Chain A
Amino acid sequence: QQPVQSPQAVILREGEDAVINCSSSKALYSVHWYRQKHGEAPVFLMILLKGGEQKGHEKISASFNEKKQQSSLYLTASQLSYSGTYFCGTGFGGATNKLIFGTGTLLAVQP
Chain B
Amino acid sequence: KAGVTQTPRYLIKTRGQQVTLSCSPISGHRSVSWYQQTPGQGLQFLFEYFSETQRNKGNFPGRFSGRQFSNSRSEMNVSTLELGDSALYLCASSPSPLAGGGNEQFFGPGTRLTVL
| B98 adjacent to chain A (CB < 8 Å) | yes
CA distance A40 to B108 in the complex (A): 9
* Residues A47 and B104 in contact in the complex (CB < 8 Å), given A96-B97, A97-B94, A103-B42: yes
| B103 adjacent to chain A (CB < 8 Å) | yes
Contacts of A94 in B (CB 8 A): 99-100
Across the interface, A99 reaches (CB within 8 A) one of B98, B105, B106, B108, namely: B105
Task: Determine how close the nearest CB of chain B comes to the CB of A47; give it in whole angstroms.
Answer: 6
Across the interface, B105 reaches (CB within 8 A) one of A32, A49, A50, A90, namely: A32
Question: Which size class do A's interface residues fall under?
Answer: 20 to 34
CA distance A1 to B40 in the complex (A): 16
| B56 adjacent to chain A (CB < 8 Å) | yes
Interface residues of A in 35-85 (CB under 8 A from B): 40-44, 47, 49-50, 53, 55-56
| B55 adjacent to chain A (CB < 8 Å) | yes
Q: Is the CB of B97 within 8 A of A97?
A: yes
B positions within 8 Å CB-CB of A: 4, 31, 33, 35, 42-45, 48, 50, 55-56, 58, 90, 92, 94, 96-110
Q: Is the CB of B107 within 8 A of A97?
A: no
Nearest chain A residue, comparing its CB with the CB of B112: A39
Contacts of B98 in A (CB 8 A): 95, 97
Contacts of B44 in A (CB 8 A): 101
Starting from the known contacts A55-B102, A101-B42, 9 additional A-B residue pairs (CB-CB under 8 Å) come to A30-B100, A32-B104, A40-B109, A41-B90, A44-B106, A44-B107, A96-B48, A98-B101, A99-B101
Nearest chain A residue, comparing its CB with the CB of B101: A91
Task: Determine how close the nearest CB of chain B comes to the CB of A65; give it in whole angstroms.
Answer: 16
Q: Is the CB of A29 within 8 A of B101?
A: yes
Task: Determine how close the nearest CB of chain B comes to the CB of A29; give it in whole angstroms.
Answer: 3
A selection of 22 A-B contacts at a CB cut-off of 8 Å is A2-B42, A29-B102, A30-B101, A40-B109, A41-B109, A41-B110, A53-B102, A87-B42, A87-B43, A89-B43, A90-B101, A92-B100, A94-B100, A95-B96, A97-B92, A97-B97, A98-B45, A98-B55, A98-B101, A99-B45, A100-B45, A101-B43
